[in-house]
C-alpha cells in the first residue's frame, strides 16, 4: 500500500501514547508514524482523517487537525474485541479538491479490495462522493445512509458542495446507487422540492422526531447500508463544543452512538464516515463524542453475526402473510431475532439465474402486515426493481 498521500500522526501524540495506560486503545492500535508505516496484514478496520473543506459552503480558508480527536480516542479502553485496528494518519490535501477526492477514492478502493473497512474522519461531507466512487469497480450497486439534518441533494448542475453531493451521486456516471436514505432529517432544513424528489425517486427518509421516538427504527436501515455517512450537524448543540454548535434540535450523544453501533453491527456496512468536524479551543466535548462514536462502531463490528443466510431451515422461521393480494414472506433469524422481508425476483442481464432479495425490517413490520398494512420499505424497494 502507498503511504505517500498520507501524513503520519504527530510525534506529540506518539509521546502521549507512551505515557498512557498500557491497556488503552492507543497502545493497541497499529499506527502510521514518522518512524514506521504499518502493515495491514490482518487489519479489519483502518481509520484515517481527511482535512479537506474547500468545497464546503462555509469555507473561509480555515484549516484544522484531528489531534484532539485522536488523543481522546487513544485514551479510551477497548471492549472485549478481537479486531485489529490501524490509524493511517491523514490524507494530504491535494493541489485541488479533485486531487484530494482522487486520493480518498484510491485509498478506500484499496482498503475495500483487501476486505478492510475504512473509517473516515473528515472535514466537509462532500467527501462522501469520493467514498462512493471507490465502489465503482468493487460493487455494482450500493445503498447509502446519510445521518443528517438535510438531504444534501442540491443542484447537480452546479459545482459540488457539502450540501449538494448527493445530486452528483444520483446523476453522474457510472450509476452505482440503488437506494439512498436520509436518517434524522429536519423538515425546516429541507426545501419542499427536495422532499418531493425523495418521494418521486422512492428514496427513504426518516424524520428526527420519529427516530427519537424509537431509535430501533434505524437498525434495519443501517443493516441494509453499504456506505454510512454522518454529518455532525445532525447532533444537537448542547452535546458539542462551541464551534461545533449548529441547532438546538438533533440527536443526543446516546442516540448518535447507538446509530454508530447499528452501523458497525451490520454485516453489510463496508465504509463509515464522520464529517463536518469543527474543532475549537474548548474542543473536549466534540472530540470525545467522535471518539465514542468510533468506539461504538468498532464495538458493533465485533458483535457481527452471520444471520442472513437462510439456506438451513434450522436457522430461521419463515412467515407468509397475504396483504392486498400480495404474498409477503418474512424471515426471522433464530440466532439474533432480527427480521427480513422478501422482495420480488431480481433479474441479472448476464445470467439466467434469478433470486429473491431480502430487505431488513422489524418485528413491527410483520405485525403491521398481519393487520393488512404493506410495509413502506418493502413498497419503495419494489418500485425501484
Give 3-state DSSP helix, strand, coil % of the chain, rounded to 5: 35, 25, 40
- 96 and 218 inside one domain: yes
Q: What is the pLDDT of residue 230?
A: 98
Residue 244 lies in a domain: yes
Q: What is the pLDDT of residue 348?
A: 43
Dihedral angle over CA of 345, 346, 348, 352, nearest 10: -10
Q: How sure is the predictor about 355, in pLDDT bands with cuts at 50, 70 and 90?
A: low
List the CATH number of the domain containing 25.
Answer: 3.40.800.10
User: Where does a domain end: 268, 302, 336?
Assistant: 302
User: Where does a domain end: 246, 280, 302?
Assistant: 302
For the chain, percent of residues with pLDDT exceeding 70: 97
- 187 and 327 inside one domain: no
User: Where does a domain end: 302, 323, 341?
Assistant: 302
* Residues near 323 by beta carbon (within 8 Å), at least 6 away in sequence: 369, 372, 373, 374
- What single string gives the DSSP state of each residue in 102-153? HHHHHHHHHHHHTT-EEEEEESSTTHHHHHHHTTTTT-SSEEEEEESSS---
- Mean pLDDT across the stretch 363-382? 94
- 359 and 293 inside one domain: no
The answer to whether 251 touches 293, Cβ cutoff 8 Å, is: no
Q: What does pLDDT average to over the chain?
A: 93
Residue 247 has phi, psi (to 5 degrees) of: -140, 145
Q: Read off the pLDDT of residues 40-70 as tens digits, 9 standing for 90 and up.
A: 999 999 999 999 999 999 888 777 899 999 9
- 233 and 91 inside one domain: yes
Residue 167 lies in a domain: yes
Residue with cell 480518498: 104
Q: How sure is the predictor about 346, in pLDDT bands with cuts at 50, 70 and 90?
A: low
Q: How sure is the predictor about 308, in pLDDT bands with cuts at 50, 70 and 90?
A: confident
- 175 and 248 inside one domain: yes
Q: Give the separation between CA 321 and CA 357, rounded to whole angstroms.
A: 17
- 151 and 290 inside one domain: yes
Q: How sure is the predictor about 109, in pLDDT bands with cuts at 50, 70 and 90?
A: very high
Identify the domain containing residue 332 by its residue range: 313-384
- 319 and 225 inside one domain: no
Q: Read off the pLDDT of residues 223-258 as tens digits, 9 standing for 90 and up.
A: 999 999 999 999 999 999 999 999 999 999 999 999
- 204 and 274 inside one domain: yes
How many structural domains does the chain have? 2
Q: What is the pLDDT of residue 86?
A: 97
Q: Read off the pLDDT of residues 316-343 as tens digits, 9 standing for 90 and up.
A: 999 999 998 889 999 999 999 999 999 9
Residue 1 lies in a domain: no
Centre a 10 Å sphere on the Cβ of residue 27 and count the other Cβ atoms it contains.
15
- 173 and 288 inside one domain: yes
- 80 and 10 inside one domain: yes
- 90 and 132 inside one domain: yes
- Mean pLDDT across the stretch 212-228? 97
Q: How sure is the predictor about 351, in pLDDT bands with cuts at 50, 70 and 90?
A: very low
- Mean pLDDT across the stretch 180-187? 98
- Mean pLDDT across the stretch 165-181? 95
| Closest to 312 measured CA to CA, from 335, 342, 340 | 335
Total count of residues recorded for the chain:
385
Amino acid at each position: 500500500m502507498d503511504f505517500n498521500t498520507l501524513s503520519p500522526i504527530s510525534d506529540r501524540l506518539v509521546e502521549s501514547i507512551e505515557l498512557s495506560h498500557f491497556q488503552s486503545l492507543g497502545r493497541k492500535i497499529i499506527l502510521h508514524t514518522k518512524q514506521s508505516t504499518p502493515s495491514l496484514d490482518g487489519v479489519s478496520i483502518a481509520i484515517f482523517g481527511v482535512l479537506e473543506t474547500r468545497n464546503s459552503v462555509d469555507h473561509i480558508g480555515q484549516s484544522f487537525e484531528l489531534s484532539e480527536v485522536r488523543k481522546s480516542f487513544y485514551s479510551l479502553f477497548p471492549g472485549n474485541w478481537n479486531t485489529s485496528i490501524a490509524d493511517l494518519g491523514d490524507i494530504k490535501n491535494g493541489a485541488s479538491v479533485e486531487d484530494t477526492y482522487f486520493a480518498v477514492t484510491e485509498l478506500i478502493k484499496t482498503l475495500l479490495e483487501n476486505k478492510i473497512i475504512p473509517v473516515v474522519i473528515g472535514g466537509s461531507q462532500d467527501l462522501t462522493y469520493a467514498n462512493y466512487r471507490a465502489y465503482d469497480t468493487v460493487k455494482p450497486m450500493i445503498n447509502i445512509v446519510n445521518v443528517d439534518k438535510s438531504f444534501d441533494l442540491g443542484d447537480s448542475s452546479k459545482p459540488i458542495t457539502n450540501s449538494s453531493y448527493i445530486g452528483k451521486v444520483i446523476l453522474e456516471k457510472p450509476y452505482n446507487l440503488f437506494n439512498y436514505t436520509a436518517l434524522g432529517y429536519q423538515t425546516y432544513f429541507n426545501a419542499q422540492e427536495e422532499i418531493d424528489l425523495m418521494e418521486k425517486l422512492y428514496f427513504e427518509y426518516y424524520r428526527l422526531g420519529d427516530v427519537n421516538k424509537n431509535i430501533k427504527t434505524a437498525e434495519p436501515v443501517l443493516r441494509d447500508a453499504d456506505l454510512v455517512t454522518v454529518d455532525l450537524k445532525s447532533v444537537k448543540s448542547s452535546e458539542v463544543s462551541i464551534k461545533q454548535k449548529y441547532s438546538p434540535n438533533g440527536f443526543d450523544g446516546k442516540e448518535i452512538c447507538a446509530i454508530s453501533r447499528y452501523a458497525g453491527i451490520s454485516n453489510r456496512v463496508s465504509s463509515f464516515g464522520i464529517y463536518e468536524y469543527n474543532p475549537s479551543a474548548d474542543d473536549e466535548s466534540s472530540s470525545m463524542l467522535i471518539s465514542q462514536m468510533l468506539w461504538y462502531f468498532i464495538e458493533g463490528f465485533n458483535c457481527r453475526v452471520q444471520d442472513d443466510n437462510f439456506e438451513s431451515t434450522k436457522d430461521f422461521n419463515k412467515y407468509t402473510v397475504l396483504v392486498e393480494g400480495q404474498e409477503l414472506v418474512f424471515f426471522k433469524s433464530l440466532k439474533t431475532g432480527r427480521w427480513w422481508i422478501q422482495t420480488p425476483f431480481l433479474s441479472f442481464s448476464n445470467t439466467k439465474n434469478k433470486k429473491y432479495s431480502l430487505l431488513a425490517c422489524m418485528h413491527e413490520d410483520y405485525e403491521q402486515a398481519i393487520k393488512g398494512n404493506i410495509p413502506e420499505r418493502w413498497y419503495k424497494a419494489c418500485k425501484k426493481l
